[in-house]
Amino acid sequence: MTSSGPEHPQDVGASDASFDYVARTPDEASEDLGEEAEEDETVLIDGWALRLGSLPVGPPVPGPPSAVPAPTSPAAPAAVGLRALFGPGRRPRARLGTRLGIAVLLGLLGFFAVVQVRSQNGDSTLRSARQSDLIRILDDLNDRSDRLEGEIRDLDTRRTELQSGTDSSKAALAEASRRKSVLGILAGTVPAHGPGITLRIVDPQKKVDSAVLLDTLEELRDAGAEAVQLNGVRVVASTALVDAEPGSVRVDSQLVTAPYVLKVIGDPDTLDPALRIPGGVFAVLGERGATPTVSAADQVVVDATRPAENQQYSRPAPAGSN
């Protein structure tokens, strides 16, 4: 009801249809004109003025009775309105084609209204945001994406480093365990087995002393003996041989008596000739009246062990330091 200015009653329907629906009957239009004639200043709100004027609580409507019946009781207009909306009504039924057109229009309205409502279900905050806000949001997102990409790169690098670190530490661990077994055998902390010889020295005259046994051990070491035990005592680098009663020797403060049995792990084909070289171990033993016997075997077990000694003071020097 924003029509401005007086309209001719004849074309009021057509001109109203362009933007304002309510088509006024000539009766109402004339009433409208009458209202405007009375209140020239209320052109813009003449719709309100008109409606108010047609209400029973408003000022009494002058002139002929309008199409809207002025009710005498409050219940009457509701009944009229409902009948006009839903009942067959007092107006003649329109042609079927027009009614179908109205139905199609309303169907389109419902369809697009639902479509529009559904399309608003998603990112409603972004949809209603202004362009500058959107640009700011986009900038923020770009910055964040850049930051996160940088983070991804850093983490990738770290992952690669850690992976290679894991690999190298695995290799180091394998190497360390290999060295541990080698060093354990050398230090005598673990049992060992392998090809080797068993040297048995029978000493009936009790003339085999620690010096002879040490010569024997040195000769065996020269020939590549890797693990040696003498009568159940493991012989290592720090082993000391001390003379005791004739026919017996203290090996690392353990008393060992003849016959002496040396179990040696090494190459039998090297160890055996080393003992027999002229003027060597066998010759000395023969001079002392002892009888050495050597038997080679594929599996010689050196099962005597020594407790590992903890290094209390010495630490490995870093490589390359003087």
Q: Which positions lie near another protein, rule CB under 8 A? A: 1-2, 13, 16-25, 28, 47-48, 51, 55-56, 67-68, 71, 74-78, 80-82, 84-85, 89-91, 94-95, 98-116, 118-119, 130
Beta bridge partners of 230: 233, 262
Q: Which is nearer to another protein, 65 or 224 (CB)?
A: 65
Residue at token pair 């029973």 = 56
The total of other beta-carbon atoms located within 10 Å of residue 75's CB is 9
What letter does residue 5 receive in the DSSP assignment?
S
The length of the chain in residues reads 322
Q: Which is nearer to another protein, 130 or 315 (CB)?
A: 130
Residue 144 is given by DSSP the state H
Nearer to another protein (CB atom), residue 79 or residue 172: 79
Write the CB contacts of 190 (distance below 8 Å, at least 6 apart in sequence). 181, 184, 305
- Minimum distance from residue 62 beta carbon to another protein (Å): 19
Residue 18, both tokens: 């362009």
What are the Cα distances from residue 3, in Å, to 19, 34, 45, 63?
9, 14, 9, 21
Q: How far apart are the first and last CA of the chain?
A: 104
- Residue with Cβ nearer another protein (18 or 312): 18
Q: Which of 181, 95, 65, 306 is CA-nearest to residue 103?
A: 95
Residue 212 Cα distances to 201, 208, 277, angstroms: 11, 6, 15
Specify the residue, 34 or 195, whose C-beta has the smaller distance to another protein: 34
**Six-digit token pair at 136?**
């700011």
Shortest reach from residue 114's CB to another protein, in Å: 3
If the CB atoms of residues 68 and 300 are measured against another protein, the closer one turns out to be 68
Least distance in angstroms from the C-beta of 171 to another protein? 58
Angle between helices 46-54 and 26-38 (to 10 degrees): 110
Give least dist CB 59 to another protein, A: 15
Number of Cβ atoms within 10 Å of the Cβ of 47: 15
Cβ nearer to another protein, comparing 71 with 184: 71
